[in-house]
Chain A
Amino acid sequence: MESISLIGMASVITAGLTIGIGAIGPALGEGRSVAQALSALAQQPDEANRITRTLFVGLAMIESTAIYAFVVSMILLFANPFWDYVVSNAGG
Chain B
Amino acid sequence: MDLMSIKQISPDQVIFWHWGPISLNATILFTWAVMALMVLGSWLITRRLSTDVHLSRWQNLLEVVVNGMRNEIRDISRQKPDPYLYFVGTLFLFILVPNILSVIPGFITPTASLSTTAGLAICVFAAVPIYGIMSRGLPGYLRQYLEPTVFMLPFNVIGELSRTLALAVRLFGNMMSGTKIVAILLAITPLVFPVVMHALGLLTGVIQAYIFAVLAMVYIASATRAQQQTKREHKNNERKGENS
Q: Interface residues, chain A, CB within 8 Å of chain B?
A: 50, 53, 56-57, 60, 63-64, 67-68, 70-71, 74-75, 78-79
Given the contacts A70-B177, A78-B7, A64 and B169 also touching, CB distance less than 8 Å: yes
Given A57-B211, A57-B215, A60-B211: A78 in contact with B6 (beta carbons within 8 A): yes
Shortest distance in angstroms between B83's beta carbon and chain A's nearest beta carbon? Answer: 21
Q: Majority SS of interface residues in chain A?
A: helix
Q: Tell whether A75 pairs with B173 under 8 Å between CB atoms, given A56-B211, A57-B211, A57-B214.
A: no
Please, what's the 1-or-0 string for B151-181, where 1 marks a CB less than 8 Å from any CB in chain A? 0000000000000001001101110110010
| A64 B7 Cβ-Cβ under 8 A | no
- Selected from A53, A63, A78, the residue in CB contact (under 8 A) with B8 is A78
Closest approach, in angstroms, between the C-beta of A62 and any C-beta of chain B?
11
Whether A68 contacts B169 by the Cβ 8 Å rule is yes
Complex CA–CA separation, A78 to B211 (angstroms): 28
- Contact of B170 with A64 in the complex, beta carbons under 8 Å: yes
Chain B nearest CB from A20 CB (Å) reads 15
Min CB gap B3→A, angstroms = 16
CA distance A60 to B9 in the complex (A): 22
Q: Write the nearest CB–CB distance from B203 to chain A, whole angstroms.
A: 11
- CB atoms of A75 and B9 under 8 A apart: yes
Q: A64-B170, A79-B9 are in contact. Are A71 and B207 (CB under 8 A)?
A: no
Given contacts A56-B207, A68-B173, A78-B6, 11 further A-B contacts (CB under 8 A): A53-B214, A57-B215, A60-B170, A63-B174, A64-B169, A67-B169, A67-B173, A67-B177, A70-B177, A74-B177, A78-B7
A-B contacts, 27 of them at CB < 8 A, read A50-B75, A53-B214, A56-B210, A57-B211, A57-B215, A57-B218, A60-B170, A60-B207, A60-B208, A60-B211, A64-B169, A64-B173, A67-B169, A67-B173, A67-B174, A68-B173, A70-B173, A71-B169, A71-B172, A71-B173, A71-B176, A74-B9, A74-B176, A74-B180, A75-B9, A78-B7, A78-B9
List chain B residues, Cβ under 8 A from A71: 169, 172-173, 176-177
Q: Which residues of B contact A74 (CB under 8 A)?
A: 9, 176-177, 180
| B211 CB contacts on chain A under 8 angstroms | 56-57, 60
Chain A, Cβ-Cβ closest to B214:
A57
Complex: A68 Cα to B165 Cα, angstroms: 11
Instruction: Contact check, B6 vs A64: say whether CB atoms are below 8 A apart.
Output: no
CA distance A27 to B232 in the complex (A): 41
A70 to B9, CA, bound (A): 12
A91 to B169, CA, bound (A): 33
Contacts of A70 in B (CB 8 A): 173, 177
Whether B8 pairs with A67 at a CB distance below 8 angstroms is no
List the A residue with the shortest CB-CB distance to B166.
A64
